[in-house]
Structure 1
């Protein structure tokens, strides 16, 4: 059975973007990008909400200014994707399936049928899976900045108990921490 992984880059105060919707404060240097590329290789299927997909679709045509960016772009292009949206009418990228919903039961079935890890990106989409106990791991890149307001990573209605399993500090101050979800299935 595949693991469902919720992974994001956030400010120290817990936001995936600032009040203007920007995330240009993220510290994506070669060292962090190298780690993100390793994480990307662990992903067999990426599940996005519409907003996150529209942000990530950039990687389909971007060739990269650095070798690490070019490598990530290729990893992203080779990853199968599901986009959950009621407003998109067709996907902008290959290897992408568009669905109007992916409820908890459908995700449970997907986990049982998929051999490689499923990464969910987007806090709104992940909240239902967290509340249902379907998320197995959470990976967070903590960027050393407080943005004050924005979109919070966690939008769950329930407490989520975690156990830290990995910590990777980077020279630019960013820290990646992986957690196992203790109340997941």
Structure 2
């Protein structure tokens, strides 16, 4: 392993969802968020392969961004095992495809449990969405607050904490 890989310079946080995936890329040396975006996909009920296509679109965009910004480590939110229903199967598929693509690209991946993320960000494993947003550094929080609540603001807050998490 070369010396560059021993010190993580760029980290990415991913709060994945089939509708709005929050992604934040963080420069560790300068402790600055260098990119954030919401990857949004729309449901097409008429297409029997819709979920598969959306998963591929999201994973491809994440892979592209990680390559573009030379990301060396990704922290991705783990699955909520208490959830039930068909959507949990699709979300699990998305999760595994993203992790597989990142590992194939030789990017270090850590899966962070939702309660562990909340506790690290706010000191409470039961923090709600607003508490997670409030715990974002002020300049970045102001940037996120420009984004509507239903447009991915809270997804970005979770991704931010994942990206800036010190393990």
**Higher RCO (CA < 8 A, seq sep 6+):** 1
Q: TM range, normalised to the smaller chain?
A: 0.3 to 0.5
- Higher percent of residues as helix: 2
TM-score by length of 2: 0.33
TM-score by length of 1: 0.30
- Higher percent of residues as strand: 1
